[in-house]
């Protein structure tokens, strides 16, 4: 690392004692680069074994990497914590202004421990750390909370504002943390951990310069990366239509989970395609700080009030592939306006929209199959495509008027353990599925991924490339997934956006690391990737993860994937092999 680079400074904040201190952790950044690598070590250090996710000792760790603020597309912050949703490793990534703001404030990582008795927000401006009273913000939506914090803090343009909505306050295990209104630390409940600490918001800002190894070489490298980022086809796809561009291709191959995965295609998919949203609703495009691509797409939802036809309200709603899957096809909604209405509401509550969609889809099928006593529905009609029922049900995930909604608020795993319907409860390790029914690799990927995310190992991509050509033997498939997950640890430790994975190949990563004073060999880099994966799995195993005890939802075998029926024997062979391999690679310590 370079002298005067603040990357190794870790800010520890204790919300119980109301104290903070900065500790130099060069040891961690030198060995694990930053981001996921450093966060995993801090989690192992800070999170006592076996604690409840809402125990005040559960740390919230936010980590960035050395390229942030130096090179484009290094724009992500990695959050780690014990997840209240999976009861295990919690890892969530977000962009927005978060990574650059943390780096410009002069930190490589922030660790928040303890819990406050009264609501507060934490303000970090460079070396200044303030705990502010958030009593008056408790109960307010994400949107209003963001506005109030914005108006009460400095650093406009240079700050990140992370906050929770009511779902986080109520500690729903799939509550998320919103970042700059349109990005999220989604999945597996970081919002609930914020809520358990009475932490309503966190604002971070700063402005500084960063040293580089060789000014001339640095500028050359920058120009090269910038040039590639602004001219590549992949980046153009993300810029033009965003991730929503994947709706039509996934639907065409039958890999778009529809009506709780009773099908892999939705009729009139073109109405909820990236193209349709762009033509009919796109109101603005945004970028994360230091990313020239700008993949964030915001829809303008303009609607008259029911009784005042010339009184309009215009809501701005960020959309992507996953929300369209979860609140669209999964619920049989192919009317974009209804989808946006539902997404807007769920976002404002601060619920993870993917989990919420899968939960509502399971609930609809459970009602259809007569598993739910009518009086527990509280007058709500759940049927495919019926967005008004879904709006009403989403509100009841918070108000929880009956045991049914109380169960739904805990996710499909729990709800199906109470009411039955396990075979169509679409979750892995407690985390509801993402939107890819592309074949066995996608599902094995969700199951094996350290955080049960499709981004852990990109199984969906293996299905569409390798498996499409020929059925890869299960052992080889598992090796491919684990290898990819190891490699991805490097990107998420540099905190380079996964969309830039082709641009930041090994050579480019090594050149970049040289400029931040961390020269190393390709072999060392690969080794670090595996070490990070191993550290994450050690945490998982320590917290009781058992691959062989995981349930694969029966539904995935009933509905043809993009590659045709998924063979249960193949899956079992793959899982048995993976369990052995994980035991060897990440022995329980």
Partner 1 sequence: MRLSVVDTELCVGCQCCMFACARRSGLGGIASSAITVRSMGGMEKGFKVIVCRACDDPPCARACPTGALTPKPGGGVRLNASKCIGCGRCAQACVLGAVQWDDDVNKPSICIQCGYCVSFCPHGVLAMEDK
Binding residues for partner 1, rule: CB under 8 A, are: 69-72, 100, 103-104, 146-147, 150, 156-158, 180-182, 207-212, 215-216, 218-219, 222, 226, 230, 283-294, 296, 298, 316
Which CB, 129 or 212, lies closer to partner 1? 212
Query: For residue 490, which of 462, 526, 456, 522 has the smallest C-alpha distance?
Result: 526
Min dist CB 231 to partner 1, Å, is 10
Query: For residue 225, which of 504, 510, 498, 517 has the smallest C-alpha distance?
Result: 504
Min dist CB 505 to partner 1, Å, is 21
77: CB partners within 8 A, 6+ apart? 35, 62, 63, 64, 93, 94, 95, 98, 99, 102, 160, 179, 185, 495
Which CB, 212 or 248, lies closer to partner 1? 212
What is the rounded CA–CA span in Å between residue 96 and residue 221?
Answer: 24
Which CB, 236 or 465, lies closer to partner 1? 236
- C-beta of residue 378 within 8 angstroms of C-beta of residue 402: yes
Min dist CB 287 to partner 1, Å, is 4
Min dist CB 372 to partner 1, Å, is 38
Which CB, 203 or 261, lies closer to partner 1? 203
Residue 86 tokens, joined: 């999976």
Min dist CB 111 to partner 1, Å, is 23
Which CB, 290 or 451, lies closer to partner 1? 290
What is the rounded CA–CA span in Å between residue 5 and residue 192?
Answer: 33
- Per-position DSSP letters for 161-189, written without gaps between them: EEE--HHHHTT-TTB-EEETTTEEE-STT
Residue 81: in which H helix or E strand, if any?
Answer: strand 77-82
Which CB, 293 or 496, lies closer to partner 1? 293
What is the rounded CA–CA span in Å between residue 253 and residue 251?
Answer: 5
Min dist CB 269 to partner 1, Å, is 27
53: CB partners within 8 A, 6+ apart? 81, 82, 83, 84, 87, 90, 173, 189, 192, 193, 196
What is the rounded CA–CA span in Å between residue 290 and residue 359?
Answer: 35
Min dist CB 104 to partner 1, Å, is 7
- C-beta of residue 249 within 8 angstroms of C-beta of residue 304: no
Which CB, 221 or 248, lies closer to partner 1? 221
Min dist CB 296 to partner 1, Å, is 8
Which CB, 100 or 393, lies closer to partner 1? 100
Q: Give residue for tokens 């961690």.
A: 28
Count of other CB atoms within 10 angstroms of residue 17: 9
């Amino acid at each position: 690392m370079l002298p005067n680079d603040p990357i190794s400074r870790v800010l520890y904040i204790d919300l119980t004692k109301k104290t903070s201190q900065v500790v130099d952790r060069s040891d961690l950044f030198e060995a694990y680069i930053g981001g996921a690598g450093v966060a995993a070590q801090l989690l192992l250090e800070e999170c006592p074994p076996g604690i409840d996710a809402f125990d005040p000792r559960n740390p919230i760790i936010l980590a960035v990497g050395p390229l942030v603020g130096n090179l484009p597309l290094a724009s992500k912050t990695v959050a780690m914590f014990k997840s209240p949703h999976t009861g295990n490793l919690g890892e969530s990534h977000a962009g927005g202004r978060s990574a650059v703001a943390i780096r410009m404030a002069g930190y490589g990582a922030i660790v928040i421990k303890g819990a406050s008795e009264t609501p507060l927000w934490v303000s970090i401006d460079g070396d200044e750390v303030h705990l502010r009273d958030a009593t008056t913000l408790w109960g307010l939506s994400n949107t209003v909370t963001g506005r109030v914090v914005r108006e009460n803090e400095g650093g406009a343009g240079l700050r990140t504002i992370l906050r929770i909505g009511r779902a986080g306050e109520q500690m729903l295990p799939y509550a998320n943390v919103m970042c700059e209104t349109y990005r999220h630390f989604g999945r597996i409940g970081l919002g609930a951990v914020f809520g358990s600490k009475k932490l309503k918001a966190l604002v971070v800002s700063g402005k500084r310069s960063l040293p580089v190894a060789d000014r001339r070489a640095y500028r050359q490298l920058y120009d090269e990366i910038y040039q590639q980022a602004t001219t590549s086809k992949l980046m153009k796809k993300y810029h033009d239509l965003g991730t929503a561009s994947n709706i039509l291709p996934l639907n065409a191959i039958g890999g778009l989970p529809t009506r709780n995965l009773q099908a892999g295609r939705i009729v009139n998919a073109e109405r909820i395609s990236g193209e349709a949203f762009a033509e009919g609703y796109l109101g603005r495009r945004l970028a994360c700080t230091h990313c020239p691509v700008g993949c964030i797409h915001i829809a303008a939802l303009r609607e008259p009030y029911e009784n005042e036809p010339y009184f309009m309200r215009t809501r701005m709603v960020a959309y992507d592939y996953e929300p369209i899957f979860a609140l669209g096809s999964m619920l049989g909604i192919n009317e974009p306006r209804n989808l946006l209405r539902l997404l807007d509401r769920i976002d404002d509550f601060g619920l993870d929209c993917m989990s919420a969609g899968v939960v509502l889809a399971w609930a609809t099928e459970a009602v259809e199959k007569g598993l739910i006593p009518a009086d527990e529905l509280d007058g709500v009609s759940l049927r495919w495509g019926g967005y008004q029922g879904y709006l009403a049900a989403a509100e009841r995930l918070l108000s929880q008027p009956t045991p049914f909604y109380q169960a739904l608020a805990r996710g499909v795993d729990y709800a199906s353990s109470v009411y039955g319907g396990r075979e169509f409860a679409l979750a892995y390790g407690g985390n509801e599925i993402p939107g890819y029914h592309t074949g066995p690799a996608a599902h094995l990927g969700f199951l094996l991924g350290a955080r049960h995310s499709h981004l852990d190992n990109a199984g969906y991509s293996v299905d569409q490339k390798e498996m499409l050509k020929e059925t890869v033997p299960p052992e080889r498939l598992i090796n491919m997934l684990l290898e990819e997950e190891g490699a991805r640890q490097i990107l998420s430790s540099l905190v380079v956006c996964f969309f830039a994975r082709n641009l930041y190949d090994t050579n480019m990563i090594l050149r970049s690391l040289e400029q931040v004073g961390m020269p190393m060999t390709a072999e060392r880099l690969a080794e670090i990737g595996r070490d990070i994966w191993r550290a994450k799995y050690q945490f998982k195993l320590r917290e009781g993860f058992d691959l062989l005890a995981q349930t694969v939802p029966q539904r995935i075998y009933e509905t043809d994937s993009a590659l045709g029926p998924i063979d249960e024997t193949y899956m079992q062979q793959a899982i048995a092999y993976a369990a052995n391999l994980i035991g060897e690679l990440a022995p329980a310590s």
